[in-house]
Amino acid sequence: MGKVMIRKLLFTGIAAATTALTAAPVAAQSGQQAIEEIQVISTSRRSEGLGDVNAAVSVIGQDELELIGHAHYQEALNRLPGVGIHRNNGQESLAAIRSPVLTGAGACGAFLVAENGIPVRSSGFCNVNEMFDAHSENAASIEVIRGPGSVFWGSNALHGLINVVLPKAGDVQDIGFEFGPRGSKKIRAALGEGDGNLKQLLLINGVNEEGYRDDSGVDNQKLSYLYTYDNGNGWLADGGLTIANLNQETAGYVNGTDSYKQKSLRDTNPNPEAFRDSYSARAWTSFSRNIDGIEVVITPYVRDVNMTFMQHFLPGQPIEDTEHRSIGIQTAAFMDLSNGAELAYGFDAESTDGELKQLQPKPTVGSFYLRNTIPQGKHYDYEVEARTLAAFVNYEQSFDNGWDISLGLRVENVSYDYNNLMISGRTDEDGVACRFGCRYSRPGDRDDSFLELSPKLGLNYALNDNHDLQIRVQRGFRAPQATELYRLQNAQTVADLDSVELDSYEVGFTGAGSDFNYSATAYFMDKENAIITNSSRINLNGNHTQHLGLEFTLSYDLSDSLTVHGVYNFANHTYENEQFSGGKNIQNNRVDTAPRTFGNLRLAWQPIEKIRGEIEVVEMSEYYTNPENSASYEGHTLVNLRGHYQYSDSINLSLNVMNVTDRDYAERADWSTYTGDRYFPGEPARVYFGIDLSY
């Protein structure tokens, strides 16, 4: 679809909606007050009312998170507009925010995942599953920005940002237990005290889950320590530490058309030897103070990440071992100008030392060609020193005629110093060439640097006291990941890559009345230089895609005890440049794993203060599973039930029934040249019972 037609559609919608909303009577304030009471920090690194923010941001609050009691973060995040997380196996996932489900070595670079504003991984060393590093199970809220992040965020905040916000330190004594299918157990605790200038909080989460599929399961532990300290001289320290450990026995795809529907196959595991072990730790402290009318926030942090897993999806099943250690600082200053405007500026810096090893313990099994291109032994062993430097400025002003404007700019440089610890070239670890050429290629030592500008323009117009029109134009980017630059294949010896860039244009309406609130957003995004691995296994900037969509949210009080919540998405993601896959030109095809429609409908019920529950319907439409658009998954509709009962002041009981109708479905569907259709089957109907004790 051309940009001219898109602009016509957007502006026609603006005109129609503006006419309707400006004529609407001013409603009571309860719905608007509910919006204003929601606080977000992801847009500017300080707490703001959701109604004051010109951004496509959504929030899941603590009460809702407690009701969900998610076994996997997908159960919470997919309640938000524009978000379509695919759960793989165990705690693994693939993300989609205003995008298809993205796969490949650098796909994780399209999304930034943070906890209390600190990215859980360095921007050049991401992983598609990195959401499991965040302590979402004990979060006070989870915030999601759809589309490019604000100027306060840089590389990787391309399609979106997920920020897990932990509770404030203070007096609380709470411990909970949950029991699920196949003997699965979970413990969750929040223990804190808040006397004097020092407030502290300890959060604990532990999961032992026997997997639905053969030889699969999860052991997962998370701990967070949070504190605030007021020294009485104007400085406030607000910091913490999070440690996450995951030991997972992984189940791979089941192969064959509709195999997820076959009882003899859906709970099997073709890869019983697969595993993933991950450890991560982060520590940070934000120091804030008002200095001569300027609010200053300085946040130093450190990070340590280590992950080992079997690449069971590759011939030879090599084991990857990655780690990186970072030290960084975020700074920001906020000031009010004499003309009533607000100015924010600051700089960020981070230094990371990373390592990657890939080792294949056993000989390759398979065809004569595979056995003579994929050697046993070490494939990669390299170190990378990464440096990120960024500066940003943001200007906001409100005018008497109802218009607000926001202008921002971020400049960021990402640089890599790569050191190969093996013999360079396309050989085995001893320098011996493979008969048909080795699959894995190691470039020689090199340096790479990427400089990017990220501008933003936001306009907000108050149609009346309760309804706003928002317009946003912004650019997001991501530098190439270290793996895209240095873990090469076949004849490639240098990956000459540029940063991926995305231009986003959107129009949105938000508002509330006495018994409802809503939002409606139309967006168009144009992404160039997307990094792909072509049929010759060469990494290059070979993809141009466009992303067009509509997002709707609505909450409406049917009565004093019944409220309906709805989220629905229409999206069209297409390949725009001429490129070939499977011998076919896929230009204008729909991007694979990109459903046209998906959504979530919930009916919440609270007859008395002690009882609350909901029935949830989750809908996913059909989507193609290959770029040629010749294979597809039919989609699914799931029904879930959740309930909480406050038995006493100190005892709360919960009951969750997932997939009530026992629907056969796939959490993720895919297609490959070697296996054809393949799936991660969804679990059948299952029940979780919990008890929460407060004292």
Q: What would the pLDDT profile of 251-284 be if each residue is shown by its tens digit?
A: 999 999 999 999 999 999 999 999 999 999 999 9
**Alpha carbon of 531 to those of 373, 480, 544, 673: distances in Å?**
24, 8, 9, 21
The secondary structure element, H or E, covering residue 370 is helix 368-371
203: alpha, beta or left? (left if phi > 0; alpha if psi -120 to 50):
beta
- Please indicate, yes or no, if residue 11 is contained in any of the structural domains: yes
Report the Cα 606 to chain-centroid distance in Å. Answer: 31
Compare 53 and 74 and report the one with higher pLDDT: 74
**CA 121 to each of CA 66, 118, 272, 302, 396: distance values in angstroms, whole numbers, following the listed order:** 26, 9, 29, 11, 30
Residue 675, classed as helix, strand or coil, is: coil
For residue 589 the two structure tokens come to 């095809």
For 316-332, the DSSP string reads T-PEEEEEEEEEEEEEE
The dihedral sign for the CA sequence 620, 623, 625, 627: negative
Buried b (16+ CB within 10 A) or exposed e, 467-489: bbbbbbebbbbbbbbbbbbbbbb
Q: How many domains does the chain have?
A: 1
Instruction: Report yes or no on 30 lying in a domain.
Output: yes
The amino acid that residue 197 corresponds to is N
CA 562, 566, 572 angle in degrees (round to 5)? 175
What token pair was written down for 45? 């690194």
Residue 413 placed within a domain: no
Q: Which residue has the tokens 């060609």?
A: 369
Say how far apart CA 44 and CA 434 lie, in whole Å.
Answer: 53
Check pLDDT > 50 for residue 28.
no
Give the separation between CA 108 and CA 158, rounded to whole angstroms.
10
What are the tens digits of pLDDT across the range 29-59? 345 545 556 788 877 888 787 777 888 999 9
Q: Let me know: does 111 contact 163? Beta carbons within 8 Å.
A: no
Q: Tell me the CATH number at 282.
A: 2.40.170.20
What residue has token string 């049917």?
A: 558
Task: Tell me the backbone φ, ψ of residue 424, rounded to 5 degrees.
Answer: -75, 150
In a domain, 438, yes or no: yes
pLDDT confidence tier of residue 22, bands split at 50, 70 and 90: very low
Beta strands in 12-106, from DSSP E residues, in sequence order: 39-40, 48-49, 57-61, 86-87, 93-94
Query: Is residue 409 a part of any domain in this protein?
Result: no
Average pLDDT (290-312) is: 96
Tokens 């949950």, residue?
178
Determine the Cα–Cα distance for residues 147 and 231; give it in Å rounded to an integer.
39
**Residue 464 maps to a domain:** yes
Spatial separation of the C-alpha atoms in residues 633 and 75, rounded to whole Å: 20
Q: What is the pLDDT of residue 23?
A: 38
What is the pLDDT at residue 10? Answer: 41
- Residue 485 tokens, joined: 């630059």
CB of 474 closer than 8 Å to CB of 130: no
Residues above pLDDT 70, as percent of the chain: 95
Mean pLDDT within 532-537: 86
How far is it, in rounded angstroms, from Cα 84 to Cα 149? 18
Tokens linked to 461:
């117009």
Average pLDDT over residues 310-329: 96
The pLDDT score that the predictor gives to residue 48 is 80
pTM over 0.85: yes
3-class DSSP state for residue 132? helix
Q: Classify burial at 639, counting beta carbons within 10 Å of its beta carbon; exposed 0-12, middle 13-18, buried 19 or more.
A: middle
Token pair for 10: 């957007």
**Neighbouring residues of 20: CB distance < 8 A, sequence distance ≥ 6:** none
Can you give the length of the chain in residues? Answer: 695
What range defines the domain where residue 10 resides?
A: 3-402+418-694
Residue 411, domain member (yes or no): no
The rounded percent of the chain whose pLDDT value lies above 90 is: 86
Q: Are 252 and 258 in contact (CB under 8 A)?
A: no
Q: Are strands 446-462 and 403-420 parallel, antiparallel or unpaired?
A: antiparallel
